[in-house]
Chain A
Amino acid sequence: MQQDAPKAVDDAALNARFEARIEAGETIEPKDWMPERYRTQLIRMMSQHAHSEIVGMLPEGNWITRAPSLKRKMSLIAKVQDEAGHGLYIYCGTETLGVDRAELVDQLLTGKAKYSSIFNYPTLSWADMGVIGWFVDGAAIVNQTVLAKASYGPYARAMIRICKEENFHKKQGYEIMATLANGTPAQKAMAQDAVNRWWWPSLMMLGPSDANSPNTAELIKWRVKRKTNDELRQRFIDLTVPQAQAVDLTLPDPDLKYNEETGHWEHGPIDWDEFWAVVKGNGPCNRERLQARRDAHEKGAWVREAAAAYAAKHQPASASNAA
């Protein structure tokens, strides 16, 4: 751990100074003093985010071998590869808080750490590759654009870099949907079915409603979060409804209507029971996703051991002296 100062240091003066820096909109860097609670909250959020990128590779990875054209196959591989890069980048950012990647991965594999609920839904047709880019990356952008202004420097910088790629993923996903929506009747039906299956889980992905989000107030105070879950969800809906209309796909919410006064689209009730069930491990694919990660980790153990053994044997003399 990075923090070797005694706990007593966590005193009122340092705290007051930290709060003042946050207040003034300053960026907190790894070497700066920070309250332990700020550190642990960030580790929790950032590692959850990194795990989501990694687990998120699985539902889309499921269609790489079946992509219907070479161009689509390549763009899907590239997208899933980008998500791996995001995961890696955010793990590195989290390590600046004094925790290492192996420990974080262990938390994922033992089920201690969470990842985004959305990736516990199955991908059942090629259209899911379109709708995930459009909805899931779209919702991620809404969330991450705000996180790019987070108070913790390494997280904010990671978000800026990642958001560029997520924008590309979203465009690509929407383009897949537009192609299907303008395609054969079977393709159009495939696209509509994917929209029907992914719309509500995508709304849930932005997190529990503000009334049930215990961490929100504290995270907003520290400028880790800048907007509440409900605000983010509203923004996502407002952006997505006209996009669905443009390609003549119907969002599966009979209550969806435009409010002239507020300028927002109002949605019907979200099934939060489903959300909590998925979060607690009872979504359609929770077990499969975690098992796939555990399998990869266990099957890869001998490879990691070999790489470490080889590095130890072939370390240059100067480096081993220095260590």
Chain B
Amino acid sequence: MSNDDLFEYLLRLGDDRLVLGHRLSEWCGHGPILEEDIALANIALDLIGQATLYLHFAGEVEGKGRNEDALAYFREEVEFRNLKMVELPIGDFAFTIVRQLLFDAFSFLQMQELQKSANSELAGIASKGYKEVRYHLRHSSEWLQRLGDGTEESHDRAQKAVDDLWRYTREMFAADEVEERLHAAGIAPDLRMLEPQWRTMVADVMQRSTLSIPSDVPPLEQDERGRHTEYLGHMLSEMQIVARSHPGAEW
């Protein structure tokens, strides 16, 4: 295991949460009910807070003087290491909730395992995140049940979101050499072990929500970290515009 591996892994953890938190924050002021403006903003805050910790640590591991802001605001899209699923536009509320559930369940298992990481700093960040993710998972599970088992329209919207998002899920468990080396060193969990647990958790919520998991959706090709959809570049151009217009400025 090299520092490069750890750096890469921390970027994955940080970028997933930064990008998803950014997407969620787009709901602020536009939610379906005031209570959800508040709840989604809360989750966005937690995710960006977690991202800040991972990216800060990534900067230290890299040792080139980059802090969390340098990593968030001055990397190009091809340097981002997040899952494609989290960078997709927010869609309707059903899409947002289904994506949250799929990610929250993954993140819950990931954080649960990472608390035991041989890297104590990583374990510390994960255990703080774990407490937050438990709440996120409850929020997305409860909403998915309301939508799936609510009206015919909400059911159809939720099912469509599941169908549209399902092909992005394999990427979460695409273990490459980086993850394997980190797992061997006791730093990262075994993604192959997480996958069946994730499937069970998600299937359970889907069933309670009267939704079905599509069986005939082929996963995306090229689903390794660092490959992106066309959406990320647009998101970053907005996110980074002020910081990049004033290089070296303090905010």
A residues with a Cβ closer than 8 A to B are 54, 57-58, 61, 64-74, 77-78, 80-81, 84-85, 87-88, 91, 126, 176, 179, 183-184, 186-187, 292, 295-296, 299-311, 313-314
Contact = CB atoms under 8 A, between A and B. Distances in A.
Q: Which of A184, A307, A309 has the most CB of B within 10 A?
A: A307
A303 B68 contact: no
A276 to B, nearest CB: 27
**Which of the listed residues B149, B150, B248, B250 has the most CB atoms from chain A within 10 Å of its own CB?**
B150
A155 B35 CA distance: 20
Contacts of A183: 249-250
Contacts of A308: 150
B242 A300 contact: no
Interface centre among A183, A295, A306, A309, by most B CB within 10 Å?
A: A306
Interface stretch (B23-31, B81-89, B100-108, B217-225): B23-31
Nearest to A59: B29
Contacts of B153: 302, 305-306
A277 to B, nearest CB: 25
A57 B146 contact: no
A77 B149 contact: no
B33 to A, nearest CB: 6
Interface in B121-180: 145-147, 149-151, 153-154, 157
B69 to A, nearest CB: 5
B201 to A, nearest CB: 21
Interface in B56-88: 68-69, 72-73
B7 to A, nearest CB: 18
A61 B29 contact: yes
A296 B28 contact: no
A84 B30 CA distance: 11
Given A65-B238, A70-B69, A305-B154, A299 B32 contact: yes
A80 B249 CA distance: 25
Contacts of A71: 52, 69, 251
B73 A69 contact: yes
B150 A88 contact: no
Contacts, number: 146
B187 interface: no
Contacts of B145: 310
Secondary structure call for the A interface? helix
Contacts of A296: 29-32
Given A80-B41, A300-B93, A310-B145, A179 B251 contact: yes
A126 B29 contact: no
Contacts of A68: 73, 242-243, 246, 249, 251
B248 to A, nearest CB: 8
Given A65-B25, A296-B30, A310-B149, A126 B69 contact: no
Given A57-B28, A303-B93, A88 B246 contact: no
B55 to A, nearest CB: 8
Interface of B: 18, 22, 25-26, 28-38, 41-42, 44-45, 48-49, 51-52, 55, 68-69, 72-73, 92-93, 145-147, 149-151, 153-154, 157, 235, 238-239, 241-243, 246, 248-251
B212 to A, nearest CB: 18
A302 B34 contact: no
B243 A69 contact: yes
A309 B149 CA distance: 8
A307 B248 CA distance: 48
B79 to A, nearest CB: 17
B73 A299 contact: no
Given A70-B72, A77-B41, A306 B150 contact: yes
Contacts of A176: 251
Nearest to B51: A70
B213 to A, nearest CB: 20
24 contacts: A57-B29, A57-B37, A64-B26, A69-B251, A73-B22, A74-B45, A74-B49, A74-B52, A77-B41, A80-B29, A80-B41, A84-B28, A88-B38, A179-B250, A186-B249, A296-B32, A299-B30, A299-B92, A303-B32, A306-B153, A306-B154, A307-B150, A309-B150, A310-B150
A179 B249 CA distance: 10
A245 to B, nearest CB: 22
A229 to B, nearest CB: 28
B250 to A, nearest CB: 6
